Each structure stands twice: as structure tokens, then as C-alpha cells.
């Protein structure tokens, strides 16, 4: 008989007893450098690595391990896995548990067709029986925290309640719910009613994920869903102060106002943190443009910054555009919400690359 009440306590949070905050795992984004930059502006309670791919010949990817082994953020990092084979998942879990992980997280959400066609990530949501086997195996092999990140279904929500029941049955310690189906990718409305349903039905804390655009929205989404906290992805790329602002919002303090000069500081810090000697300048500028596609959503309502930024080809051009738009009126507010109609298109920075994951190449909004 399973003891449904024996979940482990989560790591200490910034605000004891308060709502949780987490940085969403993002492939090619949430590496060591990015986590350090986020921590500088106000760390979330928890970090999650981008997914470690698990297959017959996989070894935990060295660059992802760095975000665990060299973590100086002061906050715990969960290691996320994507895969479906029980033996390979068990092997990888054993390997990852030798590192200083806060816990092991299972990806049940990646919507990239090349991923779900292999029946991993979001593809698994079509097969609750298989999900049950994986959860049972991971629960048995993870003595510490075992967490799950899921979407609300594959093409519909038929399996949703069954999946939450499996989460309960296998004593998952924390559940992050991205309130979209796999087929809805990244652009549809978020179904917060399903996050609310998860928060009621699941016996573990639930993190609400999907379009948590600002501290104010985080407060409203928590009031609507009764989730235990928020997980934030793209809007933390746009606004790395968002976790600190959430804590201010949650504790009833005035939310820090961010200026365009603050954003200029963020650009410099991000550029330096993500630069590595083996990447040619032009490639690094293109990588920066992917982050700045999100930042640009809050710089001006006409999209002028985005328009000019996307055309830059060198470091000097990029910073000249940043100076013009961010230091012309440095005390102007960086909008807490994205301006309506200003769309991030990070995939425009590289030609269609046939990527097989959730990287910025596949995300358009
Ligand atoms: C560039 C990018 C990469 C992502 N990579 C992952 C990943 O590795 N694992 C995962 O569970 N979700 C991944 N996601 C999904 C996010 O964790 C999150 O669920 C989604 O972006 C919705 O949250 P948001 O509206 O706060 O961005 C990725 C999303 C983006 C935009």
C-alpha cells in the first residue's frame, strides 16, 4: 500500500511559507551563465536545467552538468530528463544523483515533433500506462526529490485526470503544469482552469506555468489557480527582475520599477556572461539577438528597437542600437508587460535548422 502522505519537503524558499518561484527549463537558454545572470537580478527559489537527453548511448551532457556543478546562484537546481526507456532513464538518474542536484525532474511536455514522435516529452502524454511505469521506476530510484513538468495533454485533455492521479500514486514531490496541450505549442491561450484543477487534485505543490508575464499577472494567476507558485520562462528572459518583483508583489510591497538604463546594464551583463572565446563575434551577436527578441517586447510599443536590433551584425552595431534605444531616455520605464503586438521571433536569427528540441529556433512567440 503506497503511503500517499510521505512526500519530502522542498528546499527552503526565499519567503518561508510564501508562494514559490522557479525559472522554467529552456533548452539553449537556462545554462550556467544565464542562471548566474538571473541570480544577479533576483534569483527564483528553484532552477531547472534544460533537459538531459536519455537514450541508449547518452551520457549527461557536459555543458548542462556545468549548471549544476558550478552553480554559484545560492539556489537549488533540479536536473531535467527527457526519455522513455526505463533502463536508460535509471542509468542516467544514477549518474545525475552523483551531482549536487536538488532533485530529478521528468519532462512530459516538449512539443517539438521530432521529440514527441520518439514518444518522449509531450509524446508520452498519449500513453498514461507508460507514464505510470516511468514514474514508478523514477520514484523507486530517486531517494530525494522527484518532480514532473507536464502539459495538460497531447491534442486534448482526455488523460489529464488520470495523469494527475499517477502523479499522486507515485508520490511526485512537485508538479509544474504548463497550461497548454502539446499541439497548442507556445502561442495559444493558457488554460489556467486546468492548472487550477491540478492544484486541487494533486497532493503535491503545483507550479503554474505559461504566460506569467509580470509580477502582477503572477499574483492574479495564483489567485485564480490556487497553485503553490509560478514557473516563468520567456518572461524571465525579457525581464530578469521578475522573480524579485514577484516576491515584492506577494508580500504586498511596492514592485520595483525597472528603467531602460537598468535594461542596458542587463544587456552588457548577459553579453559578457554568455560570451566564450571559441564563438566568433557574429555568432555571439546572433545568440544575443535571440534573447533581445524577448527584451524588445517591453522597450517600445512600435517595435522600433526590435526592428533595428534584428539588423545588427557586429558587437558595435548591437550596442549602438542598444544605446540609442535604452540610453536616449534612460529613466523611462521598461514596460512590466510586453507591448501588445510586439512579437518576439527568436527563430528569425537562424535559418530553419531542423532542430530536434525546444530550442529558441522552434519558438516563435
Ligand atoms: C527556448 C525554450 C526552450 C525550452 N526548453 C524546455 C526544456 O528544455 N524543458 C522543458 O520542460 N520545457 C522547455 N520549454 C518550455 C518552458 O519551460 C515553458 O514551459 C514554456 O515556455 C511556457 O512558459 P513561459 O510562458 O513562461 O515561457 C522551453 C521553452 C522555450 C521558450
pLDDT over 80 at 38, yes or no: yes
Distance 1 CA to ligand 1 centre (A): 36
Over residues 259-318, the pLDDT tens digits come to: 999 999 999 999 999 999 999 999 999 999 999 999 999 999 999 999 999 999 999 999
Q: Where in the chain is the domain with CATH 3.20.20.70?
A: 20-250
Calculate mean pLDDT across residues 189-217.
98
For 23-57, give one letter per residue: b (16+ CB within 10 A) or e: bbbbbbbbbbbbbbbbbebbbbbbbbbbbbbbeee
Give the CATH architecture of domain 20-250: Alpha-Beta Barrel (3.20)
CB of 23 within 6 A of ligand 1: the answer is: no
Helix (H) or strand (E) holding 231: strand 229-232
What phi and psi, each to the nearest 5 degrees, are found at residue 364?
Answer: -115, -5
Q: Which residues contact 63 (CB under 8 A, 6 or more apart)?
A: 31
Q: Identify which of 24, 31, 120 to mutate to test ligand 1's pocket (most ligand atoms within 8 A of the CB).
A: 24
Ligand 1 atom closest to Cα of residue 231: 26
User: Quick check: 230 and 352 in contact, CB under 8 A?
Assistant: no
Confidence of residue 155 (pLDDT cuts 50, 70, 90): very high
Mean pLDDT of 49-54: 97
The answer, yes or no, to whether residue 359 has pLDDT greater than 70, is no
Mean pLDDT, the chain, as a whole number? 94
Enzyme catalytic residues = 110
- Choosing from 25, 77, 356 the residue with most ligand 1 atoms within 8 A of its CB, the one to mutate for a pocket test is 25
Beta-ladder partners of 46: 22
Residue 356 confidence (pLDDT): 58
Q: How far is the CA of 358 from the centre of ligand 1 (A)?
A: 7
Overall average pLDDT of the 346-351 stretch? 53
* E strand or H helix that includes residue 148: strand 145-151
- The model's pLDDT over 121-148, given as tens digits with 9 standing for 90+, comes to 999 999 999 999 999 999 999 999 999 9
Amino acid at each position: 500500500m503506497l503511503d500517499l502522505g510521505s512526500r519530502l519537503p522542498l528546499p527552503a524558499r526565499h519567503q518561508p511559507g510564501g508562494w514559490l518561484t522557479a525559472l522554467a527549463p529552456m533548452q539553449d537558454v537556462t545554462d550556467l551563465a544565464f542562471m548566474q545572470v538571473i541570480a544577479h537580478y533576483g534569483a527564483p527559489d528553484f532552477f531547472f536545467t534544460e533537459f538531459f537527453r536519455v537514450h541508449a548511448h547518452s551520457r549527461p551532457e557536459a555543458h548542462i552538468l556545468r549548471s549544476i556543478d558550478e552553480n554559484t546562484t545560492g539556489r537549488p537546481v533540479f536536473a531535467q530528463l527527457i526519455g522513455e526507456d526505463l533502463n536508460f532513464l535509471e542509468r542516467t538518474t544514477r549518474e545525475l544523483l552523483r551531482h549536487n542536484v536538488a532533485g530529478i525532474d521528468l519532462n512530459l511536455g516538449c512539443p517539438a515533433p521530432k521529440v514527441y514522435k520518439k514518444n518522449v516529452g509531450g509524446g508520452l502524454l498519449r500513453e498514461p500506462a507508460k507514464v505510470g511505469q516511468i514514474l514508478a521506476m523514477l520514484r523507486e530510484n530517486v531517494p530525494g526529490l522527484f518532480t514532473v513538468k507536464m502539459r495538460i495533454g497531447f491534442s486534448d485533455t482526455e488523460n489529464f485526470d488520470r495523469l494527475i492521479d499517477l502523479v499522486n500514486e507515485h508520490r511526485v514531490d512537485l508538479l509544474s503544469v504548463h497550461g497548454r496541450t502539446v499541439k497548442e505549442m507556445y502561442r495559444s491561450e493558457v488554460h489556467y482552469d486546468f492548472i487550477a484543477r491540478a492544484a486541487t487534485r494533486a497532493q503535491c505543490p503545483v507550479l503554474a506555468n505559461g504566460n506569467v508575464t509580470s509580477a502582477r499577472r503572477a499574483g492574479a494567476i495564483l489567485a485564480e489557480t490556487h497553485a503553490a507558485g509560478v514557473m516563468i520562462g520567456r518572461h524571465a528572459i525579457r525581464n530578469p527582475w521578475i522573480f524579485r518583483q514577484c516576491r515584492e508583489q506577494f508580500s504586498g510591497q511596492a514592485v520595483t520599477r525597472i528603467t531602460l538604463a537598468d535594461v542596458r546594464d542587463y544587456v552588457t551583463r548577459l553579453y559578457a556572461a554568455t560570451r566564450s572565446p571559441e564563438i566568433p563575434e557574429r555568432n555571439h551577436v546572433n545568440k544575443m539577438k535571440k534573447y533581445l527578441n524577448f527584451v524588445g517586447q517591453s522597450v517600445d510599443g512600435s517595435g522600433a528597437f526590435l526592428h533595428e536590433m534584428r539588423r545588427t551584425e557586429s558587437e558595435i552595431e548591437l550596442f549602438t542600437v542598444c544605446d540609442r534605444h535604452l540610453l536616449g531616455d534612460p529613466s523611462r520605464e521598461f514596460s512590466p508587460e510586453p507591448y501588445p503586438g510586439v512579437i518576439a521571433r527568436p527563430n528569425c536569427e537562424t535559418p530553419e535548422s531542423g532542430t530536434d528540441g525546444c530550442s529558441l529556433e522552434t519558438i516563435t512567440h
